[in-house]
Amino acid sequence: MKFAVLDLETTGEQPGRDEIIQVGIVIVNDFAIERTYASFVRPSVPIPPFIRSLTGITDEMVADAPAMDDVVNEIVPLLDGAVLVAHNAPFDVAFLKRALASAGYPGYDGRILDTLDWLRVLFPTLTSYQLGFVANAFGIAHDRPHQADSDAEATAEIWVRCMEKLFSLPLMTLQRLGFLFAHPDFASQQDQAWFLEEVVAWKESAEEPGTPTRSHRQFALGVDDWTTEEDRDREKFEEDFDAFQEALKRRIRERMPDYEERPAQERMMQEVSQSLKDERHLVIEAGTGTGKSLGYLIPSIHYALQTGDKVVVSTHTINLQEQLRQKELPMLHELSPTPFRSAVLKGRSHYLCLRKFEGKVNNQDFPNEREDRVIAAQMVVWLGETKHGDEEELNLGQKGGEFWSHVASDADSCLNRACPWFRKCFYHRARNDAGAADVIITNHSLLFTDVKAEHRILPAYGRLVVDEAHHFEDVASQHLGVDLSYFSMVSALTSLLKDSRSGQLPLLKSLLEQHPNAKTEGWGERIGQLFPDIVKVKENWDELFDALYDRFIARAAAGQSEGGSVTVRLKADKLPHDWKSFVAMEDNLFLTLTSVLKVLDRLVTDGKDDAEDFGLESLFTDLAGTVKDLYRARDALRLLLKADDPNMVYWMEATPHFKSRSLRLYGAPIDVSSLMRDFFWERKDAVVMTSATLTVEKSFQYVKSQLGLSDRDEAEEKLQTVQLPSPFKYRDQALVLIPRDFPGFKGANADPLFMERLIDSLRDAAVVTHGKMLVLFTSHKMLKLAHGPLREALQPHGIHVLGQGVDSGNRSKLTRLFMQAGSAVLLGTSSFWEGVDIPGDALTCLAIVRLPFQPPNHPMVEAKSEYLKAQGENPFTKLSVPQAVIRFKQGFGRLVRTAKDRGVVLIYDTRVIETSYGKHFLYSLPGPKIEHLPSESIPGRMRDWLEAPGAETGNGSSGKVETT
């Protein structure tokens, strides 16, 4: 089969208004590239600056090129008899059709295939489907992105990979895909369905009978059944830690000749090993570059092997969990002188429920018809490959979250051993692996879920290592409290009854009516009688949430200058005079819902005994799960509207854009230190807390108080605190500059003078560094105010500006675009202050616009401040400053990620040098060179320092601040 792979470069995005400036075509026959065609095209208008910068194509390059009509005459024969292939085909096809019509040819009516569509289905674990990213992932040379010849060649090779993958899929997988695509809503993708039919026909004729495929219930799978492993009969492991560590290092040196030992990492391993052995708690700050993952994993593995006791390692982010699974653990399994077993366990909703997915596909339950079918197709392919069934592996697109919520594993609807998928179940496999493991990698959220579930989720453990420990107290507050969204109830009600024909109850009623039986007589009628009451519950819920939004959020939003979410605190002793009306609405809802739930309880109880006889086990199990969800939402609403626990803080939050549909109610404990002490410090033999940012001015006092630890614990030798320095030479690698004449301002909103000066300074700095700058904001509004003017100011210099929430809300995507652009400035807010890793030359300058204080009027901050005041403490110095310092240290840590990184940090908040508390921020940094100087001197100082690496001797700058 002949394919013509097309790529066009244009002066813009609008066919008819914009023009083609380059054409690239690659002819592929079956799986082989046969020939290529490329030509510049002379447009009738100048090439816009942005397009010149993006493509590298200039007016001079196209000045002597042929006109588009002449190029059309050359490419029409190439397209004849070929299937057209393009990456994001609608764009190229629209321009092609316009060019053909303009040259007097009939419109293109051949088959069209889009590599973007096929990549989504065939490679569902790629984190991006952008052409350059895919080419890099596949190891395809793509030296000149955004030039048509290079893009067409890369697309052609990608298309060959897609065909190879498609033809390699098991027949049953291809048939499943055909089943999903054979639907009227795929009319716009009929060529995709046609090509799939061609492949299925070829596969059916070519595949030998009995070709083995690992499968179950007509789904190809990437794993066999999981089995419970017997305890290992391994030799007694008596090697002490020093010998184990030395043997491991010897193996590392053999594999990596350039391996260099890090004294701080060595010290960390010794401290963690001693803590686990001596049953003593440890709080240890390990600076950036220490290698703390190995610093705690190696002693944890040794301890587990030596004693037979499990060690649990907990991270804050799924990203770090995945890094440990994919990087550190495989290396340690390979190099460890003694074999060990490890497992990664996440929250249950991260795993696919195969029973639910099978039902969704077989019943064609696709509310978002086209997109849901694509997602289902992705997952059908993925099932043949995945070992873990973990949502994190997939790239499901914007609507993927909604789809996943209907097929995720959950306790309430689990059939356990009665499930036909039990021995294939990904969640039970992960639980089983954890039960057999020496070291278990989990996350803070699951750790506290296990606490709330009375330790029924994680295997029993006495030793715990907590990484990213600076988040531990926040996660405790979230998980030991309660929250309720508008959709907490609505999603469950919709599962029950979407309309008269869809939902669990209509489906059950229909199935019972199709198979009448004495045992089920009257069930259909009982179910039908519930429909009006369920509709009433939904109406009552909407009425309550609309009223809460209008009374509290809408009024607060009217007086709030910054967009985004609006937060309103609820105080039991200061509830508004009309609060009784909301309580009355909740009471009506409670009574109606309780009456529905009682009937459903009886229905589930009566039906479960006979469900197997009628093939309804899954439906009744899902129904039982929905009933439990409704009970939880009902009880949470009552608790939150009471708002009467003095040890809790209550609030509501919503965004004006989505109004009551975004409303969420919260209740969280004000102080969790005593709970933390009870759950961990008193019950566990040894807990290790580690992070790169635990100290404030080299003191652990703040983090100890937050976690429920005290000086007495250290005095009694129940606790040790250790601060390890970073191995980086910050004095040579980082220069901190503070413009001492910069205007200040109070409150969240910057005045025009500050914004004007900020944009001018950022522009000048970005020109010096050729982009390669990350700017950290504390306000989305300020970011958006800076984005437009800064983009305009840097456009003549060929420097792109990317803004979080402007160009994309996805942090990973923005980071990738920033690194690919080469010369770019990235503006980020909250999520960019930590967890972003941009090593090497991609980042040369970090700008911190404001010190990252939490809003003092946020209900949690406000309640904690009141709590501290009641104890005679100063909330600003005891809470606000330490929180901001730790956040500030996280932000600073974005710049230097390796021993070779070097750059400048600009701090535009002059409070660091003008206030008494400013020193806490500067003295908490890991020893960079710090100077304050006039604004106009900053670009020159940056240029001098960056051009003379390692040559600094302290040239007597009058504004220099020495750190201790």
pLDDT in tens, 200-240: 999 888 766 556 678 999 999 999 999 876 555 566 687 89
Other Cβ atoms within 10 Å of 155 Cβ, number: 28
Other Cβ atoms within 10 Å of 319 Cβ, number: 14
Q: Which of 368-372, 419-423, 429-433, 479-483 comes out lowest in average pLDDT?
A: 368-372
Per-residue confidence at 470, pLDDT binned at 50, 70, 90? very high
Contact (CB, 8 A) for 108 and 96? yes
From 484, 486, 489, 481, select the one nearest 645 (Cα to Cα).
481
Contact (CB, 8 A) for 276 and 688? yes
Distance CA(248)–CA(245), nearest Å, equals 5
Q: Flag whether 286 is marked binding.
A: yes
Mean pLDDT of 246-270: 87
Distance CA(672)–CA(677), nearest Å, equals 9
Helix (H) or strand (E) holding 648: strand 648-654
Per-residue confidence at 404, pLDDT binned at 50, 70, 90? very high
Distance CA(903)–CA(1), nearest Å, equals 53
pLDDT in tens, 587-637: 999 999 999 999 999 888 877 766 665 457 788 888 999 999 999 999 999
Exposure string (b/e) for 209-240, b if CB count within 10 Å is 16 or more?
Answer: eeeeeeebeebbbebeebeeeeeeeeeeeeee
Give me the pLDDT at residue 848, please.
97
Per-residue confidence at 514, pLDDT binned at 50, 70, 90? confident
DSSP 8-state secondary structure symbol assigned to residue 203: H
Q: Flag whether 291 is marked binding.
A: yes
From 692, 681, 236, 742, select the one nearest 462 (Cα to Cα).
681
Mean pLDDT of 522-535: 89
CA 523 to chain centre: 44
pLDDT: which is higher, 318 or 333: 333
From 171, 166, 132, select the one nearest 151 (Cα to Cα).
132
Mean pLDDT of 19-23: 96
Q: Flag whether 11 is marked binding.
A: no
**Distances in Å between the alpha carbon of 783 and those of 180, 801, 803, 848, 895?**
43, 11, 7, 12, 20
Q: Where in the chain is the domain with CATH 3.40.50.300?
A: 730-947
Distance CA(496)–CA(627), nearest Å, equals 9
User: Is residue 264 over pLDDT 50?
Assistant: yes
Q: Which of 286-300, 513-527, 720-734, 900-914 comes out lowest in average pLDDT?
A: 513-527
Give me the pLDDT at residue 573, please.
83
Q: Which two tokens stand for residue 318?
A: 């799924």
Contact (CB, 8 A) for 440 and 459? yes
pLDDT: which is higher, 392 or 257: 392
Q: Flag whether 891 is marked binding.
A: no
Give me the pLDDT at residue 613, please.
52
Give me the pLDDT at residue 745, please.
77
Mean pLDDT of 888-903: 92
Give me the pLDDT at residue 16, please.
85
pLDDT in tens, 626-656: 999 999 999 999 999 999 999 999 999 999 8
Distance CA(776)–CA(25), nearest Å, equals 43
CA 30 to chain centre: 38
**Distances in Å between the alpha carbon of 306 and those of 238, 268, 343, 622, 851?**
6, 19, 18, 44, 47
Mean pLDDT of 766-772: 95
Distance CA(12)–CA(6), nearest Å, equals 17
Q: Flag whether 292 is marked binding.
A: yes
Other Cβ atoms within 10 Å of 255 Cβ, number: 10
Give me the pLDDT at residue 611, please.
64
Distance CA(304)–CA(282), nearest Å, equals 18
Give me the pLDDT at residue 845, please.
96
Q: Flag whether 289 is marked binding.
A: yes
Question: What topology does CATH give the domain 241-344+674-724?
Answer: Rossmann fold (3.40.50)
Distance CA(395)–CA(378), nearest Å, equals 9
Return the residue matching tokens 């963690």: 272
pLDDT in tens, 696-739: 999 999 999 999 999 999 999 999 999 998 999 999 999 999 99
Mean pLDDT of 673-702: 94
Mean pLDDT of 767-788: 94
Q: Flag whether 793 is marked binding.
A: no
Return the residue matching tokens 């070097």: 902
377 Cβ contact list (under 8 Å, min separation 6): 121, 176, 177, 180, 181
From 335, 329, 315, 277, select the one nearest 433 (Cα to Cα).
329
Q: Which CATH architecture has domain 730-947?
A: 3-Layer(aba) Sandwich (3.40)
User: Is residue 565 over pLDDT 90?
Assistant: no
Instruction: Return mean pLDDT, the chain.
Output: 90
From 732, 792, 785, 743, select the one nearest 763 (Cα to Cα).
792
Helix (H) or strand (E) holding 330: helix 329-335
From 124, 68, 142, select the one nearest 101 (Cα to Cα).
68
Burial of 141 (0-12, 13-18, 19+ CB in 10 A): exposed
Mean pLDDT of 44-60: 90
Distance CA(393)–CA(413), nearest Å, equals 23
CA 148 to chain centre: 33
Q: Where in the chain is the domain with CATH 3.30.420.10?
A: 2-168
Give me the pLDDT at residue 835, please.
81
User: Is residue 295 over pLDDT 80?
Assistant: yes
Distance CA(680)–CA(688), nearest Å, equals 11
Other Cβ atoms within 10 Å of 809 Cβ, number: 10
Contact (CB, 8 A) for 483 and 664? yes
457 Cβ contact list (under 8 Å, min separation 6): 431, 446, 449, 450
Give me the pLDDT at residue 801, please.
93
Give me the pLDDT at residue 310, please.
96
pLDDT in tens, 175-188: 999 999 887 766 55
Mean pLDDT of 750-768: 93
**How far is the first Cα of the chain from the last one, in angstroms, to the nearest whole number?**
71
Distance CA(216)–CA(206), nearest Å, equals 23
Phi, psi of 665 (to 5 degrees): -105, 140
Q: Which of 304-313, 689-698, 944-953 comes out lowest in average pLDDT?
A: 944-953
Distance CA(343)–CA(390), nearest Å, equals 13
Q: Which two tokens stand for residue 361?
A: 């596909």
DSSP 8-state secondary structure symbol assigned to residue 646: T
User: Is residue 821 over pLDDT 70?
Assistant: yes
Return the beta strands (E) in 177-222 as ranges: 215-216, 219-220
Give me the pLDDT at residue 233, please.
57
User: Is residue 449 over pLDDT 80?
Assistant: yes
Q: Flag whether 287 is marked binding.
A: yes
From 425, 371, 401, 399, select the one nearest 121 (Cα to Cα).
371
Mean pLDDT of 105-109: 86
Per-residue confidence at 953, pLDDT binned at 50, 70, 90? very low
Q: Which two tokens stand for residue 377?
A: 């197709």
Give me the pLDDT at residue 184, please.
72
Mean pLDDT of 733-749: 87
Handedness of CA 748, 754, 760, 761 (dihedral sign): negative
* Helix (H/G/I), strand (E/B), else coil: 903: strand
Q: What percent of the chain has pLDDT over 90?
A: 72
Give me the pLDDT at residue 956, please.
34
R_g over Cα of the chain: 31
Give me the pLDDT at residue 964, please.
29
Q: Does domain 2-168 have CATH number 3.30.420.10?
A: yes
